[in-house]
Amino acid sequence: MNTSRKRKNNDHADAATKSSKRLAPPEPRRRLTDIAYERLEEAIVTMQIPPGSVVSEQTLSEMLDIGRTPTREAIQQLAREHLLQVLPQRGLLVPDIDLRKQLRLLETRREVERLVCRSAARRATPEQREAFFRLRDEFLHSARENDDLTFIRADREFNELSLKAARNEFSEGAMRLMHGLSRRFWYGHHKQVADLSEIAQLHAAVADAIGRGDSDAAGTSLDALLDNIEEFAKSTLTYDL
């Protein structure tokens, strides 16, 4: 009797398991807000929407072919990151690039990003480490091919992955205010004064150190990268966009 009851209970458990597997929701699709944000951020960073431009929410929605609500939410996020400025009753301003602000940003970024990269090296999952190695290879590819768009996209993914791997919501909040502005500054001046191959290789070294779980090497490699970026920023003094 007990054996029969146990078999029935097991049968019910197996049926429930199969049913839950059948009814498990599919992986959620990417939110339209996230898509709108990524496309707008890249358009601003790569100067498709130049500094000083005044645009409307409707224009951006039509450009993206995405509805007004996701576009508005993306605009709000970009405004928090200082890549857009909301002008009441007048539209949206893409701020000019400011060297002094960039140098102040780098001063803060050096301290916070060192924490992020060292933490990511310690805390990254095996899957994230593989992603860091893939990004290392993408950086090296962009260095060989002198491909600035591949580099800027790999840089964005690297930044996002570092924040996730570090698992520190406070440093994440600070870094999100700096990443887009830093990429835009670099993209706006790199053709005049930057060495794409060198900076891509420096990024590759940081990605490799994080992937290997070497927090000391991650910090040292990041310092070398930021030294290069600071020198690059100062060298733009004689150039205009």
pLDDT tens sequence across 152-211: 999 999 999 999 999 999 999 999 989 999 999 989 888 887 789 999 999 999 999 999
CATH number of 99-238: 1.20.120.530
> What percentage of residues in the chain have a pLDDT greater than 90?
73
pTM metric for this prediction: 0.78
DSSP helix/strand/coil, 54: strand
DSSP helix/strand/coil, 93: strand
Residue 51 to residues 46, 151, 175, Cα–Cα distance (Å): 10, 21, 22
Q: Any residues with CB less than 8 A from the CB of 54 and at least 6 apart, and which? A: 87, 90, 91, 92, 93, 94
Q: How far apart are CA 236 and CA 230, in angstroms?
A: 10
pLDDT confidence of residue 6: 43
Q: Any residues with CB less than 8 A from the CB of 64 and at least 6 apart, and which? A: 35, 36, 39, 40, 71
Give per-residue pLDDT as tens, 82-92. 999 999 888 99
55's enclosing H/E stretch is: strand 54-55
Give per-residue pLDDT as tens, 2-12. 444 444 444 44
Residue 92, both tokens:
């949206």
pLDDT confidence of residue 190: 84
> Which part of the chain has CATH 1.10.10.10?
32-93
* Statement: residue 61 has pLDDT above 80: yes
> Contact at 8 Å (CB) between 185 and 97?
yes
Question: Is pLDDT larger for residue 133 or for residue 239?
Answer: 133
Residue 74, both tokens:
């993306």
- The closest of 50, 51, 70, 68 to 59, measured between CA atoms, is 68
Mean pLDDT in the chain?
Answer: 87
> Which part of the chain has CATH 1.20.120.530?
99-238
| Rg, Å, the chain Cα set | 23
Cβ count near 67 (within 10 Å): 12
CATH number of 32-93: 1.10.10.10
> What percentage of residues in the chain have a pLDDT greater than 70?
85
